[in-house]
C-alpha cells in the first residue's frame, strides 16, 4: 500500500524520461531485485537520506548516458540497471555510502554473479 510519499514519488515520474516500465497501470518488475531496488530507493528517500528529486535527476542523467553511448557492444537497455546506477550515485553524493564502500558492495555482487 502506498503512502503519500510513495504516491508523490511514483507520480512525479509519470510521463517523464525517467518513468518506470508499467503494465496495465502497475509497475512492471521482471526480476525480484528490480522491485527490491525500487523499494530501497523509495524507503531511503522517505527516511530522509536523500531528496527524491536529486535521485530523479541522477536517473535522468543515467538514462541519457546510456542513450548517448549507444553503439555496438553496449549492454542492452534495462531501465532498472539505469535506476540502480542512479541510486548508487545518489548514495555516494549524499554521503550515505563512500565510494570505497560502494566498490566493496559491487565486488560482492560481481563475485556472486549477480
The pLDDT tens digits for 13-64 are 666 666 777 777 788 888 999 999 999 999 999 999 999 999 999 999 998 8
Contacts of 66 (CB under 8 A, 6+ apart): 74, 77, 82
- Concatenate the DSSP letters of all residues of 80-109 into one string: HHHHHHHHHHHHHHTTSS-HHHHHHHHHHH
Closest C-alpha among 100, 106, 71 to residue 85: 106
Cβ(47)–Cβ(78) under 8 Å? no
**Most distant CA pair in the chain, distance:** 43
Whole-angstrom distance, CA of residue 75 vs CA of residue 94: 28
Identify the three-state secondary structure at position 40: helix
Q: What's the pTM value of the predicted model, to 2 decimals?
A: 0.77
Percent of the chain whose predicted confidence (pLDDT) is above 70: 77
1 pLDDT above the threshold of 50: no
The pLDDT tens digits for 61-97 are 998 888 887 666 667 778 999 999 999 999 999 999 9
Binning pLDDT at 50, 70 and 90, where does residue 7 land? low
Amino acid at each position: 500500500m502506498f503512502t503519500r510519499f510513495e504516491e508523490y514519488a511514483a507520480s512525479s515520474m509519470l510521463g517523464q524520461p525517467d518513468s518506470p516500465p508499467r503494465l496495465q497501470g502497475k509497475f512492471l518488475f521482471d526480476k525480484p531485485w528490480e522491485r527490491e531496488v525500487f523499494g530501497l530507493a523509495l524507503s531511503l528517500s522517505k527516511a530522509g537520506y536523500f531528496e527524491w528529486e536529486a535521485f530523479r535527476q541522477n536517473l535522468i542523467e543515467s538514462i541519457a548516458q546510456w542513450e548517448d553511448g549507444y553503439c555496438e557492444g553496449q549492454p542492452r537497455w534495462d531501465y532498472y540497471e539505469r535506476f540502480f546506477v542512479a541510486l548508487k550515485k545518489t548514495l555516494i553524493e549524499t554521503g550515505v555510502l563512500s565510494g570505497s564502500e560502494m566498490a566493496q558492495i559491487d565486488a560482492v555482487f560481481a563475485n556472486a554473479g549477480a
